[in-house]
Structure 1
Amino acid sequence: MNQSLSPDLIGFSDVAAKLPQFLHKVPNILSGLKQAYLRTSSTPAGLGLAFEKAVKRNPQGIALRFEDQQYSYQALNDWANQLAHYFVAAGFQKGDVIALMIENRPELVVTVIALAKLGIISALVNTSQNGQVLAHSINLVEAKAVVVGEECRGAVDDVREQLCITTDHFYWYADQETYNDPGQAPQGFTNLAIEADKFPKFNVVNTQKVQGKDGLFYIYTSGTTGLPKAVVFSNSRWTLAYGTYGHILNLQPDDVMYCTLPLYHATGMVVCWCGVIAGSATLALRRKYSTSAFWSDVEKYNASAIGYVGELCRYLMDAPESSRDRQHRVRKMIGNGMRPNIWNKFKQRFGVTEVLELYASSEGNVGFSNIFNFDNTVGFSPTPYAIVQFDKEKNEPIRNERGFCIKVDKGEVGLLVGKITRRSPFDGYTDPEKNRSVIVENVLKKGDAYFVTGDLVRDIGFRHAQFVDRLGDTFRWKGENVSTTQVENICSDHEKISEAIVYGVEIPNTNGRAGMAAITLAPDVNTLSEHDLTDLASCFKQALPHFAVPVFLRILNSVDTTGTFKYQKTKLKDESFNPDKTSDKLYVLLPNSQKYAELNAEVFANIQAYKYRF
């Protein structure tokens, strides 16, 4: 969100005007808040317990749909119990970690339920990872086993020798409907579908022993070293999301949530699914997002709600208008990143009446949700937080003469920090050093401690905020966090490049920031040939996830650094990819192109006019 936008300030009268449409949700919200907040770290809690309660409420209701498959709550619970009994018999215990690398399909969902019932932590590995990054992700959390879908087996095979996992703890699912046809496992893997089928279907007793403080997931975020960080997501934290977002969404047993978001991210796995479980509703999955199939899938599953990130909404808006745009019963959507410039247009075109925009991070302790259904806001937060003045140049909060941070005024932008309390703890990363780096003390009074979100937000009043920008060494593109260090390392490895500085730049009518690499050429290279421009694109695409490939290149004569050898990125970000602001050579990787092309005034104008769909 651009800081120059007029803030949509909210006052008591605005909230009062929303109350009539809000009141019918109150009983469900109060029920959720009771579950979310009336608990301690030793209270039985979490996904496994909540799912079993949903089974009791709606045993024959459809819990999950995928392609032509569907499973009732009872059937999915029976399957999960068989898996849980197997893992107990195999010697796994509460607190163990099992890495899961399976694309969006029933096998991933049922395995997560099974492990949650036992208090075993699911490490939700990004299915696009490979090589060093994949090996790091699995070893980082000290996984005792890995469960892989056939669609991801090649990546696991490539790093198998690097993994600290015993040879008998590599589990496998065929890439098919394994509930009825388990297939035959390749050499070196145990067929989990066959093994689990030998075990009983009744609930395991372990679920009642899983407490809020116990880990549920490891979710990976971009690390400043270029390698992912693993964030601990506890059962208590899941229960908080379940009791807030899940109940605010107010789904009923006949509702269907269509989710195309990857379940290795919290928006899909936690936010979308916890709303389904809270309402004993149906989760309809697609393996990967498709613009062309989106509304036909919605019609097929008779979906009434959708999960989203900002990029998904833009893709749908960019698609040609169709009769299917309103031939559905979707009225609710939940997610994050909806841009103000399409917010109302999206609602009008597709007939959506409720946008439950939210703000949360996998590692953070502060959350917002748009419970009153205002436009252009991440919503309201009941958790303790502050929005404080921030010095971008010094990269630190501004403090007054007494040494305390200064809250911004209503309508102003500042750094969002979440107060660390017993009710809003900071669960943290696996690395204690990383934990220390994101905690700031003596913020508003002596002795307090806050989690630094790394995000700039605008205070728009009545405990509502608008997201403005992300600080630090990551930026968001295509719904993913991009590590600048990882991309810088890959760029610098190329023989034609000496040094690289990577940062995110805004492209009009897109969400997030596209990657731009300002590079210096190797000493023996004077210019980039056509072959070089093709080779750079090819190498980057092979070494990086698609969302991390730099869209823009800038050729520098030298790199400016600070006294501590940190790159001076502020000026580069300000000049962006505008050829009028620099005499440096600029290149762009246009959509569907196989090589970088020179970015001149004409190309720049076409980008500004939205003639390319990045």
Structure 2
Amino acid sequence: MVKNSIPDTSNIIDKREYRKRRKALFNKHNDLIQKILDLPFDNKISWGTIVEENAEQYADKTAIMFEDTKLTYKDFNALVNRYTNYFLSLGLKKGDIVEVLLTNRTELLIIITATSKIGAISSLINTSLQGESLAYSINRTPGKFIIVGSELYNAFAEIKSALNLVDFEKYYLVQDRDIIPIPEGFIELSQVVNDIPDNNPPTTSSVKTMDSFAYVFTSGTTGFPKAAIRTHYGMVGAANSYGLLMAEMTHEDIVYIPLPFFHATALSVGWPAAFAGGASVAIGRKFSVRNFWDEIRKYDATIFTYVGEMCSYLMNQPPNLNDTNHRVRLIIGNGLRPEIWRDFKKRFNINFIGEFYGASEVPAIFVNLLNFDCTLGMCSSPYAIVKYDFQQEKAIRNENGFMERVNIGEVGLLLFESKGSTKFPGYVDKKATESKLFRDVFTKGDVWINTGDLIREQGCNHAQFFDRIGDTFRWKGHNVSTTEVEKIFNSYEQILISCVYGVKIPGTDGRAGMISIIPNTTEENFDFKALSKHLTKNMASYAIPIFLRFRTDLEQTSTLKLKKSKLKKEGFAFDNVSDHIYVMLPNNSEYTLLTKEIYEEIQDQNIKF
């Protein structure tokens, strides 16, 4: 049996301190904790009911800030109702899908809430996608309407002919600050809702807690983007867990969200947490390391959402006298690296890091409710961290056919039990749903969700993130599907077959993409310029591999699956690899031959990716 990993006890949770903090939390919030536990059995609360209640309770308080505009809770709800009532007049009903392709702005939150009051589902398309990847995502969840922001119309127009649009009844455009002519066949949405009544629709009360709320596309661990189902339960649960229990949100708080709302951290954590206490959401159009703290001060934010890569970018900036010139008391997010955790808190004077762990498609979470350092927090749902074979890249089963839990300090594969309120809601694709499940894990008949993540057991119901496995890797705050990247490379005329995997670059979060290819031409005749155009047209920039390795063969398993373990281990190590490796350097769109000098600059972190 392969050893699980070298145990690390440097961040084990102290039992005495754990009991002390846990007792204080339960004494203060016992009723709220019980409410959260009872939520799956209530089934009357939905995102729409929260918004309508806030419109009464916090009527004149600011709900949304975006650039130089503000909306009160009363006005936000009224605008939502106009959209909802318009959609109802067109026959939109519970369970229908609306495709939404908009960047971060007020209209996006209005549209998502409007469809939710009917029980319809917003399919939130990743706005970074282009070409084939964009077409694939839209085709996965064919909707009754499609709503496109003017800022993304060109990207949509390029792939429209590749879409299965037979069942689409309406095409809507939502103008951004740069107005464009209304394209043929499109209706300007903001114009047609102007004269629609703004009363609360009768459908809100018919939407149940466990109903679907949105589709969020995730790379998952088995390849192509899948539409993960987000429920109203997830939104309401986050409002209580993150907003009231952890952040103790009030209407005096302002939550700055620079992350895209097609990602769960913004959609299902930051937004509901703010609305839980009548706080304001300050929408950032896009994260900018240069403008981040200026925006924090502009909105006077007290809380912000993050992903780990964002924190690393902020730490990499030169220290500034203004680093602590803000009112931020707490941050909520995931992926903050343990090695910079304490330095980040100290430099920016952040008292509480509300780290959490949760996959878009898994209805269970870890939350750092007790404010320990370097941890995902604790989990109230049934979970297990099981022994994992790092060479074979699979969970270990003992002689009886069952899996075993790791010891404290060890790393293993994280599983959640699929039952009750944490029953796996699955993907739109039922086949993909089944591939996510493990059966007969500890006893015959049990079912567990495979997260595809390696986690370190810290004791006291706490855990620490270690790494991601499977056919995805995380880079620039995004999950990158190796299968999707391989498909696009393999469609390039000079490539016979490719193999994509993630590799570590010193000083960066996650793993950078690396691809090994077998070309159908010589390396000297390979057209790198044409390849770059092909990639730029069909892929998001973060998904384009940083390193490209030429190979004459690629090892396969007996089932013809590409073997990646050895390639991952070799990485881009200049002295250990005889093949030529090329690198796409920062601010370049073409690959350059990796020389020893460039390799050493990367290792010394003089080249920043």
TM-score range, shorter chain: over 0.9
Please say if residues 436 and 449 of structure 2, whose CA atoms lie closer than 8 Å, have aligned partners that are also in contact.
Answer: yes
State how far apart, in whole Å, the 2-side matches of 1:237 and 1:478 are: 25
Aligned residue among 508, 512, 515 for 1:514: 512
Deviations 1:90-124 (A, max 9, x none): 11111111011111000001111111111111101
CA shift in 2, pair 1:213/1:341, >3 Å: same
User: Distance between the aligned counterparts of 1:329 and 1:558, measured in 2?
Assistant: 56
Question: What is the aligned partner in structure 2 of residue 15 from structure 1?
Answer: 18
Structure 1: which 5+ runs fail to align?
none
Query: Could you tell me how far apart the structure 2 residues matched to 1:344 and 1:127 are?
Result: 33
Pair 1:249-2:263 in alignment: no
Cα shift at 1:496: 3.2
Say if 1:9 and 1:460, in contact at 8 Å, map to a contact too: yes
Q: Secondary structure at the match of 2:422?
A: coil
Q: Tell me the CA shift for residue 491 of structure 1.
A: 1.9
Report if aligned partners of 2:535, 2:544 keep a CA contact under 8 Å in 1. Answer: yes
Name the SS for the 1:307 alignment partner.
strand
Deviation, 1:453, is: 0.6
Residue 193 in structure 1 maps to residue 190 in structure 2: yes
1:7 offset after TM fit, Å?
A: 4.0
**Higher deviation after alignment, 95-104 or 486-495:** 486-495
Does the 8 Å contact 1:363/1:428 carry over to 2?
yes
Structure 1 residue 545: deviation in Å? 0.5
Q: Distance in 2 between matches of 1:82 and 1:385?
A: 43
Any idea what the Cα deviations from partners look like across 1:118-170, whole Å, max 9, x if unmatched?
Answer: 11111011112233333332232231111111111223333334233556411
Equivalents in 1 of 2:553, 2:351: separation in Å? Answer: 52
1:203 paired with 2:200, answer yes
Maintained 8 Å contact 2:133/2:538: no
1:114 matched residue in structure 2: 114
Q: Is the 8 A contact 1:306 1:332 kept in 2?
A: yes
- Please state how far the C-alpha of 1:26 moved relative to its aligned partner: 5.8
Aligned residue for 1:602?
597
- Could you say which residue in structure 1 is the equivalent of 2:92? 92
Matches of 2:309 and 2:6, distance apart in 1: 20
Contact conserved, 1:408 with 1:414, CA < 8 A, in 2? yes
Determine the structure 1 residue equivalent to 2:447: 449
- State, as a whole percentage, how many aligned pairs show the same letter: 37
**Alignment correspondent of 1:297:** 295
8 Å CA contact 2:132, 2:538 repeated in 1? no
**Residue 137 to residue 31, structure 1, CA distance change in 2 (3 Å):** farther
Conservation of the 8 A alpha-carbon contact between 2:235 and 2:269: no
State the TM-score, normalized to the length of structure 1. 0.94
What residue ranges of structure 2 are gaps of 5+ in the alignment?
none
Contact 1:370 1:377 in 2 (8 A): yes
Question: Aligned partners of 1:276 and 1:313: how far apart in 2?
Answer: 21
2:131/2:537 contact within 8 Å kept? no
Matched residues in 2 for 1:40 and 1:30: separation?
17
Q: 1:314 to 1:409 in 2, by over 3 A?
A: same
CA contact (8 A) 1:225 1:486 kept: no
Equivalent residue number for residue 235 of structure 1: 232
Residue by residue over 1:291-315, the C-alpha shift from the partner in whole angstroms, topping out at 9 and shown as x without a partner, is: 1111111111000111100111111
State the SS of the aligned residue for 2:487. helix
Any residues of structure 2 matched to 1:476-515 within 5 Å, and which?
Answer: 476-515=474-513
Q: Which residue of 1 aligns with 2:398?
A: 400
SS in 1 for 2:425: coil
> What is aligned with 1:570?
565
- TM superposition shift of 1:3: 6.7
Residues 309-357 of structure 1: CA deviation (Å, up to 9, x unaligned): 0111111111222232111101210011101121111111111111111
Residues 73-472 of structure 1 correspond to what in structure 2 (within 5 A)?
A: 73-161=73-161, 162-165=163-166, 168-176=169-177, 185-222=182-219, 227-247=224-244, 248-472=246-470
- Does structure 2 conserve the Cα–Cα contact (< 8 Å) formed by 1:37 and 1:240? no
SS of residue paired to 1:455: strand
| Paired residues for 1:525-540 under 5 Å | 525-527=522-524, 532-540=527-535
Separation (CA, whole Å) in 2 of partners of 1:130 and 1:533 = 20
1:31, 1:243 within 8 Å by CA — same for their partners in 2?
no
Letter in 2 for 1:125: I
CA distance in 1, matches of 2:114, 2:60: 19
Partner of residue 547, structure 2 = 552
Task: Measure the CA separation in 2 of the matches of 1:487 and 1:62.
Answer: 42
- Deviation of 1:34 (Å): 3.7
Secondary structure, aligned partner of 1:355: strand
The answer to which of 154-163 and 275-284 deviates more is 154-163
Change beyond 3 A, Cα 1:19–1:234:
closer
- Asked if the contact 1:520/1:558 (under 8 Å) is kept, the reply is yes
Q: How far apart, CA to CA, are the structure 1 residues paired with 2:41 and 2:426?
A: 15
Please give the secondary structure, in 2, of the residue aligned with 1:71.
Answer: strand
Aligned pair in 2 of structure 1 residues 485, 426: CA closer, same or farther (>3 Å)?
same
Residue pair 1:62, 1:281 contacting (<8 A) in 2 also = yes
1:566–1:597 distance in 2 versus 1, CA, 3 Å: same
How far has the Cα of 1:610 moved from its partner?
1.1
Q: Distance in 2 between matches of 1:481 and 1:107?
A: 26
Matched residue count: 603
TM-score scaled to structure 2, two decimals?
A: 0.94
Q: Offset at 1:234?
A: 1.4
TM-superposed CA distance for 1:223, in Å, is 5.9
Q: What secondary structure sits across from 2:203 in the alignment?
A: helix
Q: 1:12: how far off?
A: 1.8
Secondary structure in 2 aligned to 1:154?
helix
What amino acid sits opposite 2:140 in the alignment?
L
2:579 aligns with 584
Q: For residue 536 of structure 2, what is the aligned residue in structure 1?
A: 541
Partners of 2:145 and 2:168 within 8 A in 1: no
- Partner Cα distance (2:406, 2:313) in 1: 35
Aligned-residue Cα RMSD (Å) equals: 2.2
Q: Distance in 2 between matches of 1:607 and 1:472?
A: 26
Change in CA separation of 1:220 and 1:78 when aligned onto 2, cut-off 3 Å: same
SS in 1 for 2:501: strand
Could you tell me how far apart the structure 1 residues matched to 2:347 and 2:327 are? Answer: 13
Cα distance in 2 for partners of 1:538, 1:87 equals: 40
Whether contact under 8 Å (2:307, 2:334) holds in the other structure is yes
2:199 maps to amino acid: F
d(CA) in 2 for partners of 1:167, 1:416: 40
CA distance in 2, matches of 1:490, 1:500: 10
SS in 2 for 1:581: coil
Cα offsets for 1:340-394 (capped at 9, x unmatched): 1211111111111111110000111331011111111111001101111122344
Is the 8 Å Cα contact of residues 41 and 236 (structure 1) preserved in structure 2?
A: no
Check whether the contact 2:223–2:481 (CA below 8 A) recurs between aligned residues.
yes
Distance 1:224 1:525, change over 3 A: farther
For 1:253 and 1:602, how far apart are their aligned partners in 2? 55
Question: How many angstroms apart in 1 are the aligned matches of 2:131 and 2:595?
Answer: 37
